[in-house]
Amino acid sequence: MKKHITLLPGDGIGPEIVAAAKKVLDVINERYDYEFTSEEQDIGGIAIDKTGNPLPEETIKACENSDAILLGAVGGPKWANQSVRPEQGLLKIRKHFNLFANLRPVTIFDALESSSPLKKEIVQGSDLMIVRELTGGLYFGQPSERRDNGKSVIDSLTYTRDEIERIVKIGFDTAMLRDKHLTSVDKANVLESSRMWREIVDEIGKEYPEVTVSHVLVDAAAMKLITNPKSFDVIVTENLFGDILSDEASVITGSLGVLPSASLNQDNFGLYEPIHGSAPDIAGLGKANPIGMILSVGMMLKYSFNLESEAAKIEEAVNKVLNDGYVTADLMSDDGQVLSTMEMTDKIISYL
């Protein structure tokens, strides 16, 4: 198998963790006799510094000529108060490649259970997948502007039926591969878009008789994620609700640094990135946790390259390393052995 991957290290700890990802890719190359090639391109703050543009043409071209994208992180205080901001690169790349399906697994690793802010009996055994719509809704709806000489403002939450249908289908397909329970989150008691969303979920649900469907309001979902995270299997929801709920869900694990994500288009072309941010405070110190990034490589192998067993190998290796008590500085642990970014990467590779 031959694949070309664009690496977008980005800002903060991005370069360190993408270097870790590359090392893992190289090992997979050797072990399995694949030909994974890669090139680095700029996105986010570093791209603004070099070109004034958070997503330069060259980066887009490179991604277009690739089979997948691995992203580190973008953003930082340096660029926070300018009109051109690093996150715009992220929003643009999602839209450009039509990466409408954001998959965020929220897994509690046995070894890290004690890091959760939740009580053990509540969090234990939680395992859910959030399917977030990523290229519609308030993030891209027009009009989005000041009006009346700055006396008022409007943003628009827009969806087409097709946009809702395709993400809802991904929700059902994902549920079919898991515990066959889909929770659709909306605010149907207030929003017309949510009422349409709910109708579409019910329509498409007819094609998936094995999947049980619950409709939960977004405020109730925000509560239930804390009081009973185990009750969820797959959550499907629109862009902004997904943004809020997936971040909320990820902290209940107590280990943000180990969680990956995939953003896919209709053809399973995708951008893979850890869910944590650029952590500028620890950038360059070799302290960053590479696990979220390495598990993102695993998701790439699974979703874009159909290499299920290789992806599972990576997950297993991570699990073993954690079970053997190895951690990085971000993971609270009483008796774990704290490794640097590269030591952790090498340890995982040694278990592969």
Nearest distance from C-beta of residue 80 to ligand IPM, angstroms: 12
91 is a contact residue toward its own copies (CB under 8 A): yes
Quick check: 8 and 42 in contact, CB under 8 A?
A: yes
Q: Does 223 bind its own copies (CB under 8 A)?
A: yes
C-alpha span between 132 and 263 (Å, rounded)? 9
Site stretch for its own copies (CB under 8 A), options 1-9, 15-23, 56-64, 144-152: 144-152
Q: Which of 23, 85, 104, 313 binds its own copies (CB under 8 A)?
A: 85
Residue from the set 109, 159, 208, 303 that interacts with its own copies by CB under 8 A: 159
CB of 33 to ligand IPM, least distance (A): 35
Could you give the CA distance from residue 222 to residue 225 in angstroms, rounded to a whole number? 6
Catalytic site residue 119? Answer: no
- Mark whether 219 is an active-site residue: yes
145 binds its own copies (CB under 8 A): yes
Is 49 one of the annotated binding-site residues? no
CA distances from 216 to 60, 102, 248, 254, 312 (A): 38, 19, 16, 24, 32
Q: Is 103 in the site for its own copies (CB under 8 A)?
A: no
Measure the CA–CA gap between 80 and 77, rounded to whole angstroms. Answer: 5
Q: What are phi and psi of 37, to 5 degrees?
A: -105, 160
Q: Does 138 bind its own copies (CB under 8 A)?
A: yes
* Footprint on this chain of ligand IPM (rule: CB under 6 A): 87, 90-91, 189-190, 219, 243
Active site annotation includes 347: no
Piece in contact with its own copies (CB under 8 A), picked from 25-33, 47-55, 126-134, 223-231: 223-231
Residue burial 155-177, b: 16+ Cβ < 10 Å; e: rest: eebebeeebbebbbbbbbebbee
The verdict on whether 155 is a catalytic residue reads no
Distance CA(90)–CA(11), nearest Å, equals 12
Active-site amino acid positions = 139, 187, 219, 243, 247
